Amino acid sequence: MIETKPIDGKAFAAGLRARVAEEVAHLAATAGLKPGLAVVLVGEDAASQVYVRNKAEQTAEAGMASFEHKLPVDTGEGELLALVARLNADPQVHGILVQLPLPAHIDATKVLAAIDPAKDVDGFHVVNAGRLAVGLDALVPCTPLGCILLLKHHLGSLAGLKAVVVGRSNIVGKPAAQLLLKEDCTVTIAHSRTRDLPGECREADILIAAVGRPEMVRGDWIKPGATVIDVGINRVPKADGKTRLVGDVAYAEAQGIAGLITPVPGGVGPMTIACLLQNTLTAAKRQAGLG
Ligand code: GUN
């Protein structure tokens, strides 16, 4: 029987935030530079409001400037594009994040394309996606970056390992696959049309689940001893009418099969904002000619 160990993303993220804060203090002392992050939220989406509040708090805790722009749900696309243009031109703003999802009347692709790639701390701009794909320095999407940092911390070199990423989104699946390839993994991207998804998953030394379906990946899809990274955050109803958070992996079933697994909550989730702070620091240094 394999002893399955949980990966403590909460503790690792706290360490990463502390390292970022230390470097921010050093930058202030030596170069008089204070990294600034602007977060734009359109509308009242409840989950987005929680994320944005956490981002603002943790940005301030790291010693960075936080600029919040909360706009009403009926904000026009032109108005949002004008705000992005102002933030692009603002020297105090080194990172710009437009919270997704945007209301349906706004073309998200157009808005993301309007962000200066040098300030694109989400790494969603096609310039950053392209730079990552061809192996140039890029701002990398925060959630997949968090996954890779956890993997490297626990496994050391990933070279030669077989990695299966379930999910092909631009936000997680595709950039995660690019990052694994950069680490010399053999990478498969699986998705809803994959034939024999359980069989593909069973080949994986590293299994990343990023599909947004509660507990879709079953215990018997996991190769014994594999490292499982669960990106899913799904709210499901409980018998008492309340809700609980579950991942994309059936966590209880993975016990005794996986070698390492990220829990939900407390695994990948806390890494996302920590990586956002790191990206903001990186962007600020590059814009100041220091990085
Ligand atoms: N909505 C949920 N997660 C994210 C994220 O990482 N970035 C942005 N911009 N929106 C999100």
pLDDT at residue 1, rounded to an integer: 83
- pTM of model > 0.85: yes
| Active site annotation includes 99 | yes
In whole angstroms, what separates CA 7 from the centre of its chain?
16
Contact between residue 283 and residue 139 where contact means Cβ atoms under 8 Å apart: yes
> Digits of tens for pLDDT over the chain (291 positions)?
899 999 999 999 999 999 999 999 999 999 999 999 999 999 999 989 999 999 999 999 999 999 999 999 999 999 999 999 999 999 999 999 999 999 999 999 999 999 999 999 999 999 999 999 999 999 999 999 999 999 999 999 999 999 999 999 999 999 999 999 999 999 999 999 999 999 999 999 999 999 999 999 999 999 999 999 999 999 999 999 999 999 999 999 999 999 999 999 999 999 999 999 999 999 999 999 997
Residue 277: inside a domain? no
Shared domain check, 214 and 145: yes
Shared domain check, 145 and 120: no
Shared domain check, 150 and 88: no
* CATH code: domain of residue 185: 3.40.50.720
Shared domain check, 249 and 159: yes
In whole angstroms, what separates CA 147 from the centre of its chain?
8
Shared domain check, 252 and 149: yes
Total structural domains within the chain: 2
DSSP 3-state of 27: helix
**Nearest partner of 148 among 136, 160, 139, 156, judged by Cα:** 156
Active-site option among 99, 178, 278, 287: 99
Boundary (domain end) residue, out of 83, 101, 125: 125
Query: What is the extent of the structural domain holding 78?
Result: 32-125
pLDDT at residue 291, rounded to an integer: 79
Shared domain check, 149 and 118: no
Contact between residue 89 and residue 119 where contact means Cβ atoms under 8 Å apart: no
Spatial neighbors of 95 by CB under 8 A, at least 6 apart, are 35, 36, 37, 38, 119, 121, 276, 279, 280, 283, 284
In whole angstroms, what separates CA 151 from the centre of its chain?
14
Residue 2: inside a domain? no
Shared domain check, 193 and 113: no
Shared domain check, 193 and 160: yes
Distance (Å, rounded) from C-alpha 276 to C-alpha 244? 26
100 lines ligand 1 (CB under 6 A): yes
Residue 162: inside a domain? yes
Six-digit token string for 87? 């933030």
Shared domain check, 154 and 256: yes
Single-letter amino acid code for the residue at 158: L
* CATH code: domain of residue 67: 3.40.50.10860
Ligand 1 centre to CA of 51 (Å) is 8
DSSP 3-state of 199: helix
Single-letter amino acid code for the residue at 146: G
